[in-house]
């Protein structure tokens, strides 16, 4: 089943994000290689793909996991969480409607 992992950053998270980003991306690349990643990305703090020093306010990951517990366990091991980037992480089951998948 798909799960949405919705993460809220602490204020001023940009330096922590930059430091932990390589490890965070490596985990996402593993999910992608396994064919389990639907999408992932950050929420810019301003209306711009490159928010510069304004940074980001959080992240969204949609991926396939065997269970809610597995999704939560994966989310709780994220390098951004360990580095203090995220102040809150919510994991919810997600049903993809569009785009339609075969």
Contact yes or no for 63/3 (Cβ under 8 A): yes
Check whether 101 has a pLDDT greater than 90: no
Contact yes or no for 40/61 (Cβ under 8 A): yes
CA-to-CA separations, 40 to 7, 16, 22, 91, in angstroms, rounded: 11, 18, 14, 14
56-98 pLDDT per residue, tens: 999 999 999 999 999 999 999 999 999 999 999 999 999 999 9
3-58 pLDDT per residue, tens: 999 999 999 999 999 999 999 999 999 999 999 999 999 999 999 999 999 999 99
Which pTM was predicted?
A: 0.96
- In CATH, which of 1.10.10.410, 3.40.50.720, 3.30.70.1060, 3.40.50.1110 is domain 2-94? 3.30.70.1060
Domain-by-domain residue ranges, the chain?
2-94
């Amino acid at each position: 089943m798909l799960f949405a992992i919705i993460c809220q950053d602490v204020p001023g998270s940009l330096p922590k994000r930059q430091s932990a980003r390589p490890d965070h991306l490596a985990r996402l690349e593993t999910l992608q290689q396994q064919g389990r990643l639907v999408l992932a990305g950050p929420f810019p703090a301003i209306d711009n793909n490159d928010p510069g020093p304004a940074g980001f306010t959080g992240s969204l990951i949609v991926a396939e996991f065997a269970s809610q517990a597995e999704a939560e366990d994966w989310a709780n091991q994220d390098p951004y969480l360990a580095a203090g980037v995220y102040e809150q992480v919510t994991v919810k089951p997600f049903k993809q409607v569009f785009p339609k998948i075969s």
